[in-house]
Every structure is written in C-alpha cells, then in structure tokens.
Amino acid sequence: MKYLANLLKTKHILLLGLCVFIALLLHMRSIDFPCFNSDEASFAYNAYSILETGKDEYGKILPTRFQAFGENKLPVTIYSIVPFIGMFGMNELAARLPFILIGVLMPLLFYWLAESMFKNKTIAIIAALLASVSPWIQIMSRHIHEDVLMLVLTILILQLFIKLAHSFSFKTISLLAFVTGLSLFTYHIGKVLAVFVVGWLLFLAVRQKISFQKISKSFLIILIPILIFGLTEVMNPSSRISNLLFTSDKGFSLTIDSLRNEHNSRTIHNKFTYGMQLISNQYLSYFSPEFLVSVGDRNQRFGSPGVSPLSPVEYVFFFVGVYFIVSRKEKHTLLLSSLLLIAPLTAALSWQVGSLTRSYLMIIPLLLSASYGMYWAVKSVEKKLIQIVITGIIATSLLFFVGMSWDYYYHHYPMQVSTSHAWQCGYKELGSYINNSYDRTDKYYITKRHGQPYIFTLFYTAFPPSKYQPQASLTELGEYGFGEVESYDKFVFSFKSPDEKTTERTSYIGYPEDFNGTGIGSNDIEKVTINGADLFWIYEINK
C-alpha cells in the first residue's frame, strides 16, 4: 500500500510537471509576439527610472501612484518589474519576465487551490491542465498586465478564506489584510475584491459565532490597508475609472434622448432606468457562450474571434460542474460561486463591452467548476469501459478546440494588419533606427496619431531617467483621460511636412498617409514594415 501511495504521488508530480512544461512551451513559442505596447513601455520605463533614480519619470520619489499618461497607474506592477530589469537589463523580455513566470507556474496555483477546495488530487490535476492550456490565462501572461498579478493575489485570498473557515485566527486575518492591500494597489478590480473580502470576513465571523470583541479587532486589521489605499486615492484620484464608467459614454445620453423623442416619458426613460437595463444586460453577457467561447474580448489587443477564452468543452462542463458541486454539497460552494458573481461587476459598469481584462477573475470559478464537472461526469458512470470512452471523448474534444485556438493565435492573429495596429507594432524597429541614427540627427519629428510615441523612444533608447525627468511635461488630459508629451531632447511628437530648406539634420517619421501631398514617395524613404504592411515611413534631410 505504501508503494502504491508513493507511486500515485510520483504520478501526480509528473503530471504537474507536464502541465508546467506545456505552459512553458506556449510562452517560448513566438516569444517576441505580441509587440510591446505603450502601457508595457510605460510600466517598464518607470521601473527603470525607479531602479536608476528612486523616482518615476516625472521625478516623484517612490510614488504610490505613477502619473504615466496622466491616469495615475497603481504601483505594484511597476515595482514588481524593477528587480528583473536590474538583473537582466532594459529590454522587453526582462520587463515581461515576472508575468511569463506567473503564467508558466499558474498550473501549480490552480492545482493548489482546487486541491484545497475539493480535497481531490485528480480534480486538481485537471484544473492544472486546463490552466496550462487556457488562452485566457496564458495569452495574458505573455505581456505585462496587472490582471496576471491579480489572479495570483485572488488565489491567495481564496486560500486564506479556506483556512479561516477552519480556524478564525488573527494571523490568517493579518495575511488576508496584507494581500487585500496589495490587490488594491495593483489593479482597479481590487476595489471589488476588497468588498468581497470584507463581506466574507463578516459572513465567516457570524457563521462561526465569533465574539464581538474578536470581530471588531479582525475588522480593524482588515480595514487598515483599505483606509491607507483610500487616503492615497483621495490624494491621487485615477481619471481612468471615471472615463470608463458607462455614464461617461456619449452614446448613453444620446440613447436616452432618442428614447424620449419616441416616447416622451421621463419616468420610464431616464439615467437610472436605462442604466439599470444596460448594466443588467452587460453583466449577463459575460456568462454567454458568445463572450466566453465565440467572440471573447472586443479589444483586439486581448484576443480575436478565432481565439476562444474557453473551449466549448470547458463551457459545457462548467455547468455540469455547477450541478455536481451543488448536489454534492461541497463545503466551499458559496465561496466559489460568490467570486463568480462579483467577478464581472467592474466589466459590466464599463462602457467597453466584452472585456476579458475586467472580468479576468471569472477564470478561477469557471476552470475549477469545469474540472469538477469533468471528473464527476466520468466518475458517476459505473462501468470502467464507458469511463474510458467518456474520458477519451472529453480529452480529444478539448485537445481539438484548444489546439484550434492556439493555431489561430500563432499563425493567423499576428498576420492581421489590425493586430499590428492594436499592439502598436513597429516601435521596436523604429527604436533600432533611432539608436543607429541618434548621433547624426539633430531633430526627430514623429507622428503621435497612434499611441504614445514618447514612451517608446524612452524605452527603446533606454534614455537616462535623470536626464529625462527635468524635461518631463504632460499636456492636459484629453477625452479618454490621457495626456501627451509633446517634446523632449531631440524629439518632437508631431508630424510636420518635411522642410527641405532646413539646415538641421532631420528625420520625419510618420504613417504612409502622413506623407500624402508632400511629393515624397516610397522610393525616397526608409520603411518599417511588419507582415508586408508599411507601418512607418522615415524621410531624412541633410544626412
């Protein structure tokens, strides 16, 4: 029996190792895709600035908010990048490395959580496997995004609640407070998560009949990081949230006006009634097969209709899992289901429809429930032969659908011109051109029609932060809550028609259409070309 137990233990370790290896392979394949976008460049350059000077790009010492493009980025993501740039230098891979590592190790975290919740190693192995091949998880961790860190923090929070369900201790509550505080300073969905934490702490305290004195002390501990965060939020409010709220969309007011023109009743057609209808519809859409299986994120930076966040197999077995979890009265059913219900809230409140990033925490209950459903769908059948057949059908179907998603991601998605624009491709190549021509160029005029070009020039030239900080200046925030840098050093971020009479050695960098009417053709310029499409044209004078 002891030999058998050791053999089973070794088998699970090997299977877990296989899951981690699969996740590693998915990251190693086309590791330079996707292109480095402006948010990533901002995270990385500010991390570099902290490393070099202890200040952000604007010269603020160890800030709790990074001004960045004017939206006041939360700090944890940036600080997590600092040691990796310190070890491996200022480059894309170093900046992305902590997120890649999390993606590769995510199967272990899902195994740990599933085993803690269900006390079943086979279900935990299935969860680890699903996490290892999940486009929703693994595509996100190929680049810098706060959600990747939030997924780790949420799993830790769930583990602490599982522990609190057994023993309501101050040590566990202190750890819970620390992790909750980290989540608040990581991404804006941390605010919803903090409400979730407070609600669950109260629920467990009441259910376990904890004394009022102990409850009071527990809430004091958990409220400390929340109050600290609230203070920093008042001092440095984020413009991004208010700009993303559904009420800030012009279409919201226009739709109400249109409804009133057709039926002039303010009682029926007003901000409250239409807002409730809109939020409800958007909230429910996050559980639909259209969002979870067919279309995914409407923002092409985070996916494409050919890349399914969940496979049809996982979607079906999610519901099968719900049935078995409820019918078998699993101890942590309420914890898992409450996370599922609150996860899409921030996404539903936004005017942007179908957001994988704002509903990211849904992946935890979705994959755990699907794993549970797969296991018990097989286990509930008595005949061994039929169990083998069902297992084969599930495995083959899963392999087919997940394989199709990854095929599209690697071979079709990168080839689309719209993908290149969504990911702001071309700036890396432009950075190489600038590095090679910097000493022989007096002035660069660079179009700002696409993205934030200043942050790319800072990142790809590793421009000294101590030299940039005195020059850093951001314009007033625009319609979407972002400002712009108009110039620094040799760079002017505004395309102008080339001046042939200038005595300066000048480079004019724009999109092909920027050169319309200038008399400059494709034979007169250098090109930055991705997948056969011209992204930038470069015209030099007096070189």
For 274-295, the pLDDT digits (tens) are: 667 778 888 898 999 999 998 8
Look at residue 312 and tell me if it is in a domain. no
Look at residue 280 and tell me if it is in a domain. no
In 3-state terms, what secondary structure has residue 345? helix
What does the alpha-carbon distance between residue 504 and residue 442 come to, in Å, rounded to a whole number? 6
pLDDT given for residue 211 in this prediction: 85
DSSP state of 535: E
Which amino acid, 409? Y
Q: Which long-range contacts (CB under 8 A, 24 or more apart) does 68-71 make?
A: 68/42, 69/38, 69/42, 69/452, 69/455, 69/474, 69/482, 69/483, 69/484, 70/239, 70/474, 70/477, 70/481, 70/482, 70/483, 71/238, 71/239, 71/240, 71/481, 71/482
CA angle 159, 161, 164 (to 5 degrees): 115
Q: Are 535 and 420 in contact (CB under 8 A)?
A: yes
Structural domain of 438: 421-541
Average pLDDT over residues 61-82: 94
pLDDT tens by residue, 93-111: 999 999 999 999 999 999 9
Report the 10 Å Cβ neighbour count for 340.
19
> What domain count does the chain have?
1
pLDDT given for residue 533 in this prediction: 83
What does the alpha-carbon distance between residue 532 and residue 543 come to, in Å, rounded to a whole number? 27
Q: Which two tokens stand for residue 422?
A: 């969504």
Q: Are 291 and 285 in contact (CB under 8 A)?
A: yes
Look at residue 522 and tell me if it is in a domain. yes
What phi and psi values does residue 506 have, to the nearest 5 degrees? -125, 140
pLDDT given for residue 147 in this prediction: 95
pLDDT given for residue 209 in this prediction: 86
Which ranges in 119-189 belong to alpha helices (H)? 121-133, 135-138, 146-166, 170-184
- Least Cα distance to 225 among 169, 187, 179 occurs for 179
Which residue has better confidence, 536 or 265? 536
The pLDDT > 90 percentage for the chain reads 64
Q: Which two tokens stand for residue 302?
A: 């985070």
Look at residue 442 and tell me if it is in a domain. yes
Q: Is the pLDDT of residue 332 over 90?
A: yes
pLDDT band at 145 (very low <50, low <70, confident <90, very high): very high
Which amino acid, 471? Q
Average pLDDT over residues 514-525: 84
What does the alpha-carbon distance between residue 2 and residue 4 come to, in Å, rounded to a whole number? 5
pLDDT band at 264 (very low <50, low <70, confident <90, very high): confident
Q: Which two tokens stand for residue 56?
A: 């952000």
Task: To the nearest 10°, report the CA torsion of 169, 171, 177, 180.
Answer: -90
Report the 10 Å Cβ neighbour count for 64.
17
pLDDT band at 251 (very low <50, low <70, confident <90, very high): low
What phi and psi values does residue 94 have, to the nearest 5 degrees? -60, -40
What does the alpha-carbon distance between residue 515 and residue 478 come to, in Å, rounded to a whole number? 26
Q: Is the pLDDT of residue 330 over 70?
A: yes
Look at residue 379 and tell me if it is in a domain. no
Cis amide bond preceding 34, omega within 30: yes
Look at residue 40 and tell me if it is in a domain. no
pLDDT given for residue 252 in this prediction: 65
- Least Cα distance to 82 among 99, 94, 74, 65 occurs for 94
pLDDT band at 8 (very low <50, low <70, confident <90, very high): low
Average pLDDT over residues 528-532: 85
pLDDT given for residue 539 in this prediction: 92
pLDDT given for residue 239 in this prediction: 61
pTM for this structure? 0.92
What does the alpha-carbon distance between residue 365 and residue 158 come to, in Å, rounded to a whole number? 11
Average pLDDT over residues 135-152: 95
Residue with tokens 């939360």: 74
Task: To the nearest 10°, report the CA torsion of 58, 62, 67, 68.
Answer: 80
Q: Which two tokens stand for residue 515?
A: 């050169």
Q: Which uninterrupted H or E stretch holds 530?
A: strand 526-530
Q: Are 395 and 423 in contact (CB under 8 A)?
A: no
Look at residue 489 and tell me if it is in a domain. yes
Q: Are 274 and 255 in contact (CB under 8 A)?
A: yes
The per-residue pLDDT of the chain, averaged, comes to 89
Task: To the nearest 10°, report the CA torsion of 158, 160, 166, 168.
Answer: -130
- Least Cα distance to 69 among 39, 90, 48, 49 occurs for 39
Average pLDDT over residues 23-45: 94
Task: To the nearest 10°, report the CA torsion of 333, 334, 336, 337.
Answer: 110
pLDDT band at 59 (very low <50, low <70, confident <90, very high): very high
CA angle 94, 96, 101 (to 5 degrees): 100
Q: Are 205 and 164 in contact (CB under 8 A)?
A: no
Look at residue 507 and tell me if it is in a domain. yes
Q: Is the pLDDT of residue 370 over 50?
A: yes
pLDDT band at 203 (very low <50, low <70, confident <90, very high): very high
